[in-house]
Amino acid sequence: MADIISPEITPKQKQELEEIVNLLIGIRGSHTELVSVLIPSGTNIHQVSSQLASEAGTAENIKSKQTRTAVVTALETIIRELKNYKQTPKNGLAIYCGNVSEKEGGQDIKIWAYEPPRPLNVRLYRCDKTFVIEPLKEMLEVQEVYGLLAIDRQQATIGVLEGKQIKVLRTMTSGVPGKVRAGGQSSQRFHRITEGLAKEFFRRVSESMKEIFFDLPKLHGILVGGPIPTKEEFLDQGDLVTKLKEKVIAVKDIGYTDDHGLKLLVEASQEDISQQEFIKEKEIIQKFFETLGKKRERAAYGYEKVKLALERGAVEKLLISKDVAKSVMQELEQKANNIGSEVIIIGNENQEGEQFFNLTKGVGAILRFPIE
């Protein structure tokens, strides 16, 4: 199962990635003078430098003097930057360089070298009017793993959703006959047989789910779909272990139980999935306010008090709003890392995030011990 799991991005890494994507997406070149170089992990970085030197030689043939100068200068700048690396970083390297001057005919060469939080899977060199940032944007997509089950009395399909990719992991059949019973069988006997087969099928599906999902890293929730009332019968009678039953975040009515059924299940559960990150954030904010109300001495807010708590090693969880100045965020995060505190980045997309910012000016903490 390990091949379907991507490394987890920390809140800090996610924010840094969002910042560089938002910065680069807004840059436009007057001509094809913005250079993107994507280097996957394991690539010989010295070979990349040699290839770019060759590209610089080719760029000398560009007819437009302004574009030629910009591209050659950008490539030379990137080659100098690569000399700072003995080898390609663990997850690869994304380098963006070019003329960002907004004045026609002006030249302002800027470079960004970024080590991504997940492995780069594409090798690329391109000159264009925009930077190639799609591989970085994809890293911002939801990467939690969701378990999927589409089930009726005849069939069950188990799969996973990672990001936007659905994988079928197992298909099972029950042997439960249709509504037409064999000749000579009484209605009651037929009912007993089918119910017994269905119960045994539910048990086998539960065992398979335990085998697949119980120790699956990053399992964020389970989605269950099927016709009424089969999916409810399964959850009530299927002997699904408590740990997995508690992971069920959505139960949806769908008419198919094959791979198409998994796609329908995911489509029907989009709102439930999108709410999960907000729910985690809401829970930590609620815990902060609850601590502030019931155990005032175990919470702190405001830059000065939280900074003092960090310097005394008292912070268990540091909560920082996205709207806080970057210099303040970096300072407090560094102090938190030094004492092993958990750092949680609070968004501003919901009411709880807004309330947190309005009260704390974007900085709060749950403490290990009182500081006053």
Close Cβ partners of 25 (under 8 Å, ≥ 6 residues apart): 131, 133
Ordered per-residue pLDDT tens for the chain, 372 residues:
333 344 567 777 888 899 999 999 999 988 899 999 999 988 999 999 999 999 999 999 999 999 999 999 999 999 999 999 999 999 999 999 999 988 877 889 999 999 999 888 889 999 999 999 999 988 887 567 899 999 999 999 999 987 667 899 999 999 877 665 555 557 788 778 888 899 999 999 999 999 999 998 778 899 999 999 999 999 998 789 999 999 999 999 999 999 999 999 999 998 888 776 677 788 899 999 999 999 999 999 999 999 999 999 999 999 999 889 989 999 999 999 889 898 898 987 678 888 999 999 999 999 999 987
Greatest C-alpha distance within the chain: 92
pTM of the model: 0.54
Cα–Cα distances in angstroms (integers) from residue 217 to residues 7, 123, 144, 241, in the given order = 10, 29, 9, 17
- In the structure encoding, which two tokens stand for residue 185, read together? 């069988």
> Counting every residue, how long is the chain?
372
Domains, the chain, in order of start with CATH, read: 2-139 (3.30.960.10), 145-268 (3.30.420.60), 275-367 (3.30.1330.30)
Q: How far apart (Å, rounded) are the C-alpha atoms in residues 225 and 232?
A: 9
CB 156 within 8 A of CB 236: no
Judge whether 52 and 123 are in contact, CB under 8 Å.
no
Q: Structure tokens of 198?
A: 């269905």
Tell me the H-state helices in the chain. 11-25, 45-59, 65-82, 134-139, 187-213, 230-237, 242-245, 259-268, 270-294, 303-311, 326-338, 351-360
